[in-house]
Amino acid sequence: GQNIDQPTEMTATEGAIVQINCTYQTSGFNGLFWYQQHAGEAPTFLSYNVLDGLEEKGRFSSFLSRSKGYSYLLLKELQMKDSASYLCAVREGAAGNKLTFGGGTRVLVKP
Amino acid sequence: GAVVSQHPSRVICKSGTSVKIECRSLDFQATTMFWYRQFPKQSLMLMATSNEGSKATYEQGVEKDKFLINHASLTLSTLTVTSAHPEDSSFYICSAIGPDQPQHFGDGTRLSIL
């Protein structure tokens, strides 16, 4: 089984930076994914890390440390439309590529 | 554009009705499809994993006779909620993976049982 923890809610100001942390425990790590989900919609893929380090994609970056069981998603230059839930998901190689999701972090961007 | 198509997007029906939801991968052959359920303000809970041509693998606590999954081809999986009741009302989301693909999600189906 897996334990995936991320904060429940975060609030930030438009134009600022927010970092969402995710810690996990798994027996056969095979990648960590970040998804964005707006209310009432399906998740959309943001980033994928399987090796240690930072992956940058425009305003979004994701970091992974496998030895620490830790990842973060960094959102820069926040925009109002970034208000959403952000889901951390871990893929376990021994489990046929299925993803296990954390509880999600609701980010509220204020003007 | 969308790489996974899910249909219908919204269903409202009476208690006791069976409801079928389709999930199609559009630009790739999906080796595996997944079915999730999401209650309001909660995260996605995996219901079952579906591989083409074989029986689905259900997560603990999910009734396989209640939630029938058929993965008849590399691009189509269906979930049938049999004899649905109000407690089955939820947001159902499928996803698919293929070679060199991250897991892509369909747009979800909001099921409301009256």
For the stretch A27-80, pLDDT in tens is 888 899 999 999 888 899 899 999 999 999 899 999 999 999 999 999 999 999
Determine the pLDDT at residue B1: 57
Partner residue opposite A99 with nearest CB, options B6, B51, B103:
B103
Collapsing DSSP to helix, strand or coil, A28 comes out as: coil
Determine the pLDDT at residue B67: 96
Confidence of residue A94 (pLDDT cuts 50, 70, 90): low
Mean pLDDT across A3-23 = 96
Q: Mind listing the pLDDT tens digit of every residue in chain B (114 residues)? A: 568 999 999 999 999 999 999 999 998 888 889 999 998 888 899 999 988 878 899 999 999 999 999 988 889 999 999 999 999 999 999 999 877 677 889 999 999 999
**A50, B95, B98, B62: CA torsion to nearest 10:** 90
* B98 in A contact zone (CB under 8 Å): no
Q: Which residue of A has its CA nearest to B35?
A: A98
Determine the pLDDT at residue A95: 58
- In percent, the amount of chain B with pLDDT more than 90 equals 67
Q: Which residue of B has its CA nearest to A84?
A: B41
Collapsing DSSP to helix, strand or coil, A15 comes out as: coil
Determine the pLDDT at residue B78: 95
Determine the pLDDT at residue A96: 63
Q: Which of residues 2-61 of A touch B (CB under 8 A)?
A: 33, 35, 40-45, 48
**Residue A1 pLDDT > 60:** no
Residues B91 and B79: their CA atoms lie apart, in Å, by 13
Run of H or E residues at B109? strand B109-113
| Cβ–Cβ below 8 Å for B105 and A43 | yes
Q: What is the per-residue DSSP string for B28-85?
A: S--SEEEEEEE-TTS--EEEEEEETTSPPEEPTT--TTTEEEEEEETTEEEEEETT--
